[in-house]
Amino acid sequence: MVAYVVGNESIHDQAKYEEYRTQVRSTLAIYGGRVLSAGPIAEVLEGEPKALAFVIEFESLERAKEWYVSPEYQAIIGLRHAAAEGWLALAREIQRPPPA
């Protein structure tokens, strides 16, 4: 079942974040991650989100977790932590019942 890494961040060090951004895509490729959306918030409907939002698709929750704990990603996660603040979450695809 497909799973998503969803994140929301505010960047306070653009140079460091750019360094992270250029390296993270290669780590995603190893684990089958595909960026579906990444960029400034288009419109706030509720709450007070950070300025940047992203959604990354993986073939499964397990694969998303493998990426997150992988040596490749852990080698660059410090760049993200030093450059931005925010959160990441895992979300599962909705399971729909088969058609009747």
pTM, to two decimals: 0.89
Residues 34/37/40/41 CA torsion (nearest 10 deg): -140
Residue 33 has what pLDDT?
98
Nearest to 4 by CA among 67, 74, 60, 77: 60
Q: What are the domain boundaries of the chain?
A: 3-92
**Locus of tokens 């490729």:** 29
- For domain 3-92, the CATH architecture is 2-Layer Sandwich (3.30)
Q: What is the pLDDT of residues 52-77, one digit of tens each?
A: 999 999 999 999 999 999 999 999 99
Contact 13, 82 (CB under 8 A): yes
Q: What is the pLDDT of residues 23-62, one digit of tens each?
A: 999 999 999 999 999 999 989 999 999 999 999 999 999 9
